[in-house]
Amino acid sequence: MASHVHSSGSSHTVRQPTEPSIASRRQWQQILHETFGIEHLRPGQEEVIESVLNGRNTLAIMPTGAGKSLCYQLPALKIPGVTVVVSPLIALMKEQSMRLEETGLGAAEVNSALSAREERSALQRIGNADYEFVFTTPERLSDPEFLETVRQKNHVSLFVIDEAHCISRWGHDFRPAYLHLDAIIEALGHPTVLALTATATDAVVEDIKQQLGLLDMHVINTGIYRPNLQYRVIAATDEAEKLARMYDLVREIEGSGIVYAATVKAVEEVHKSLQQAGESVIFYHGQLSAKVRTQNQDMFMSGARRIMVATNAFGMGIDKSDIRFVIHFQMPASLEAYYQESGRAGRDRDPAQCILLYFARDKQVQQFFLARRYPGAADLDAVYSVLQKLHVDSGVVSLPQLHEELEDISEGRLQVSLKLLKDGGLVAQDEQLGYRLLRRNAKPRELAKLSDTYRDKRERDQAALERMVFYAQTGFCRWKVMLEYFGEHVDWQHCGNCDNCRQPPEQSLSAEHPRRHSFIFNNIPKEPSLDIGSTVSVPRFGEGHVVSVAGDKVTINFPDGSTKTFLRAYVTPKSNS
C-alpha cells in the first residue's frame, strides 16, 4: 500500500521541504491561525512561502488540493504592495477573491464577466490602491489601459501565475494570452514571480522558465500523488450504456459530485437527463451568460445542488472540500487534464471516487478539437500582411485593432501568430503592449518555418491523447500510469485503491510474458478499436472473435470453441475484419 511519494534520482526530483527559522515560523503561525483559521502548514507550503518571502522567483508544483493558494496569500500579507494573481478561469477567480473577501482581505476581480458598472468601480478602486489582491485573466492584463491602471497607482510586489502550465506550449491547457506574460512582468517592473501548478512535466517546467524569461526560477516539486482518490474506468459500448452507468453511479455514491463532459452540447444533454431522473443537478459551461454561470456555480458550491455537470470551464482550481465523486462522461484530451479535473474530488482528504466512462469513439471528439487549435502558415501570413498595412498608418498597432482586421482568425490563433512573429524578430512589443513591425517583406518561407513550432505541438497533443486512451485501457495501477506520465518515480507498484489494484484483470498469459514487465507506453493499442465480433489475435492462442469488452478485459472466442479473457494490451486487432 502506498503512502509516500519518494524522492527520485531522475531530473524530475521530488524535493523535501526545508526547515524555516523558528522566529519566522511563529509569526506565520499567528497569521495562519488568525486570518485563515489554519493550524499548520502542509509539506511544501513552508518552503514555497519562504522562497517567495526571500524574493526568489519560484515555480511550485504541488498536488491538486494541496493548498497552493495559501502559498501566495500568506506572503502577500507580509510584503508591502499589491499582489496580482493571474488566473485562467473566471470560475476560479471568483471563488478565490470571494474567499479572501470573507477573511477580510481586499480583493478585486477584473474579467470579462463583470458588468460595465462593476468594472468601472473595480478599476477606480484599483486606481485608489484599495486592494491587497487583484485577480485577473492574462487576456485582461494584455489590455494596455488596464495594465496602466494597475501599474500607475500601485506598487506590484508579487505577481502570481496560477495554473502556470497554461503558459507552456507543451502544457495541456495552453492559453495564448499567457505568452505575453514576460512583457507584462517587465512592464510591472519585475515583481517577485510565483508560478503555481499541479501538472508540469519536465518539458513544461523548462518551457515555463523560458516563456517567462526567468531561467533561474526556484523549482519546488512535491509530486502529485493523492492517496484518497480512488480511480476507476468503466467501459461502455455506446452512449445509452454510458448514461445508464452514470445514473447508477450518481445514485450509488453519496455526497456531491461533478460530471464532466467534453462539449457544451453534451453537458446540456447530460444535465437534462439527470434532471429528468429527479437528481439535484446544475450545469456550467463557457457559453452561459456570466450571470447564469455565477448563479450555477454558487448553487453547487453552497450545496443547494448536489451534482454539477460541466465542461472544463469549471475545472482547474475549483475548491469545494466535500466532493465525493468526479465522473467523466467523456474522456479528456490528456492525463494532465484528467488529473486536474478529477482533482476536484476529496479535497477534505476523505476517500473520493474518480471514474472515467470510457467509450472508444469519444476519442474523436478530442481529435476534432486538436485539429483546430493552432495557427498555420496561412494565418501567420495574414497577420503579417495586416501588420505591414496598418504599420504604414500608425506605427504601433494594438491587439484589438488587429483583431478587427482579422475577423476570421480566432483571438487565440492571433496571439500565437504574434508571438511567433515576435520570436522570429519580425515584430516587437512595447511597454503598452502595442506591436511594432521591425522588418518588412519577410519571405513566405521564413513565415512557414516559424509556424512549424506548432506542428510539433500538434504531434505532442496527439501523443498525449494516446496516453489518455492507454490509461483508459490499461490493466496496470491507474495511479502508476499517471505518475509515470508526469515522470514521477515511486517505490511501489500498486496504490491498492484503484480498480485494477482492487480487482486485477484476469491474466490468461503466463507471468513470464515480457510485456507484463515493461511498464511502457509503446504498447498503446492502435486503431482499429475492438468492436464486438471483430477479428483479433493473441500471442500463443492465435486468431479469434471478440465476444465482449469490459474495462481492459477482452473476452475472445476461438475457432476451437473455447472462450478466454485477456488483458487488452495483449490483443491485436486485425484490420478489415
Ligand X SMILES: Nc1ncnc2c1ncn2[C@@H]1O[C@H](COP(=O)(O)OP(=O)(O)OP(=O)(O)O)[C@@H](O)[C@H]1O
Cell of 569: 494490451
Q: Which is nearer to ligand X, 65 or 138 (CB)?
A: 65
We find the least distance from the C-beta atom of residue 183 to ligand X, in angstroms, to be 26
Rounded CA gap, 460 and 445, in Å?
Answer: 24
**Which partner in ligand X, Mg ion, Zn ion, none is near 198 (CB below 5 to 8 A by kind)?**
ligand X
Using CB under 5 A, which of the segments 66-74, 302-310, 340-348, 497-505 binds Zn ion?
497-505
Q: Residue 488: which residues within 8 A CB-CB, separation 6 or more?
A: 5, 8, 12, 14, 223, 224, 225
CB of 383 closer than 8 Å to CB of 418: yes
**Which partner in ligand X, Zn ion, Mg ion, none is near 128 (CB below 5 to 8 A by kind)?**
none
We find the least distance from the C-beta atom of residue 162 to Mg ion, in angstroms, to be 6
A 10 A CB-CB count for 126 gives: 22
Which of residues 100, 147, 495, 571 is near Zn ion by CB under 5 A? 495
Contacts (CB under 5 A) with Mg ion, residues 80-109: none
Please name which of 526, 238, 234 lies closest in space to residue 361, comparing C-alpha atoms. 238
- Supply φ then ψ for residue 555, to 5 degrees: -100, 130
- Supply φ then ψ for residue 355, to 5 degrees: -125, 130
Contact between 317 and Mg ion (CB under 5 A)?
yes
- Supply φ then ψ for residue 6, to 5 degrees: -95, 150
Using CB under 5 A, which of the segments 66-74, 371-379, 483-491, 493-501 binds Mg ion?
66-74
CB of 570 closer than 8 Å to CB of 539: yes
Q: Which is nearer to ligand X, 76 or 509 (CB)?
A: 76
Following DSSP, what letter does each residue of 23-50 receive, concatenated?
Answer: HHHHHHHHHIIIII---SPPTTHHHHHH
Per-residue x/- marks for Zn ion, 442-481, CB under 5 A? -----------------------------------x-x--
Q: Which is nearer to ligand X, 60 or 450 (CB)?
A: 60
A 10 A CB-CB count for 245 gives: 17
Binding site for ligand X (CB under 6 A): 38, 40-42, 45, 62, 64-70, 198, 317, 319, 321, 343, 347
Rounded CA gap, 216 and 553, in Å?
Answer: 47
**Which partner in Mg ion, Zn ion, ligand X, none is near 155 (CB below 5 to 8 A by kind)?**
none
Using CB under 5 A, which of the segments 139-147, 311-319, 333-341, 351-359 binds Mg ion?
311-319
Please give the residue whose beta carbon sits closest to Mg ion in the complex. 317
Q: Which is nearer to ligand X, 202 or 319 (CB)?
A: 319
Q: Residue 543: which residues within 8 A CB-CB, separation 6 or more?
A: 535, 536, 537, 558, 559, 574
Q: Which is nearer to ligand X, 71 or 402 (CB)?
A: 71
Cell of 12: 524530475
Contact between 65 and Mg ion (CB under 5 A)?
no
The footprint of Mg ion (CB under 5 A) covers 68, 317
The footprint of Zn ion (CB under 5 A) covers 477, 479, 495, 498, 501
